């Protein structure tokens, strides 16, 4: 039994080390090579094979500044300044969750990239630990501009709709470069539950959130805010 236990333990150690090395190699490669798919896309395909998936990769310069600012204002206003984790937001979320029945998350854009590209959609301490590992390496290796580019090209915006180009055409019949501030804010407002909410048929709450996002963009300084992202490590 002792020998068997040692073999199992040795196998587990090698597996963990192998995963850690492979994940770092993939992150290094993806600094320059666009990911062909993502774990969220694979998971959705397995759960419903009949849904046709749409995704067209667009580079940083082919994406409207309006949607870049909208997702930052909505999801992660401290994005240019943190190293993958916004501890102030985490603390506020913990306080809120202790008092409210509805759970509020505090994931940064980097954490969401780690989850969407590499991980399955579930809640567990194991998955959270792996997400933390991936987030640290993504922040270390990728420039902020690359993180946001991959985020916008991998985020889910409805059943079978992945990435900002597919979402732009599906909902507004324009390409990602042509999105207006209003269209961008409506798309960003649906991100907490994009398979439930439609930016072209926004509820009152979605309209209010979109308006709030536009106000936040102004408070952040508008398009000048993106200069902070371009100046970060590269």
Average pLDDT over residues 117-141: 89
Q: How many CB atoms lie within 10 A of CB 8?
A: 10
Give the containing element (helix H, strand E) for 95: helix 87-99
- Say what the pLDDT of residue 167 is: 97
CA distances from 164 to 55, 67, 71, 76, 81 (A): 8, 8, 11, 17, 24
What is the C-alpha R_g of the chain?
A: 19
| Interval 40-48 mean pLDDT | 91
* 30-41 as b/e: b if 16+ CB within 10 A: beeeebeebbbb
Output 49 or 104, whichever has higher pLDDT.
49
Q: pLDDT confidence of 205, banded at 50, 70, 90?
A: very high
b/e burial code for range 64-81 (CB count within 10 A of at least 16 → b): bbbbbbbbbbbbbbebbe
Q: In order of start, what are the domains of the chain with their CATH numbers?
A: 62-230 (1.10.3810.10)
pLDDT in tens, 15-42: 878 888 998 999 999 999 999 999 999 9
Please give the pLDDT value at position 11.
Answer: 77
Residues in the chain: 234
For 139-193, the pLDDT digits (tens) are 999 999 999 999 999 999 999 999 999 999 999 999 999 999 999 999 999 998 9
As a whole number of angstroms, the distance between CA 170 and CA 1 comes to 59
Name beta bridge partners: 162.
Answer: 156
Taking residues 225-230, what's their average pLDDT? 85
pLDDT exceeds 90 at position 79: yes
State residue 50's pLDDT score. 86
pLDDT for 92 equals 64
Rounded alpha-carbon distances, angstroms, from residue 105 to 37, 86, 160, 178? 25, 11, 24, 31
């Amino acid at each position: 039994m002792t020998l068997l236990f040692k073999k199992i333990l040795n196998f587990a150690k090698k597996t963990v080390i192998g995963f850690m090395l492979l994940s770092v190699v993939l992150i290094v490669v993806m600094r320059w090579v666009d990911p062909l798919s993502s774990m969220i896309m694979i998971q959705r395909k397995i759960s419903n094979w009949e849904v046709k998936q749409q995704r067209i990769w667009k580079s940083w310069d082919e994406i409207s500044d309006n949607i870049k600012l909208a997702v930052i204002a909505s999801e992660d206003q401290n994005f240019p300044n943190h190293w993958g984790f916004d501890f102030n937001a985490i603390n506020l979320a913990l306080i809120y969750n202790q008092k409210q029945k509805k759970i509020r998350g505090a994931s940064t854009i980097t954490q969401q990239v780690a989850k969407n590209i590499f991980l399955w959609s579930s809640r567990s301490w194991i998955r959270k630990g792996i997400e933390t590992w991936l987030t640290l390496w993504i922040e270390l290796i990728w420039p902020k501009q690359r993180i946001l580019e991959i985020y916008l090209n991998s985020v889910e915006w409805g059943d079978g709709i992945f990435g900002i180009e597919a979402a732009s055409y599906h909902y507004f019949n324009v390409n990602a470069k042509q999105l207006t501030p209003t269209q961008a804010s409506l798309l960003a407002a649906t991100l907490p539950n994009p398979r439930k909410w439609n930016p072209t048929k926004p509820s009152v709450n979605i309209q209010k959130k979109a308006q709030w996002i536009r106000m936040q963009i102004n408070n952040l300084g508008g398009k000048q805010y993106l200069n902070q992202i371009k100046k970060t490590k590269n």
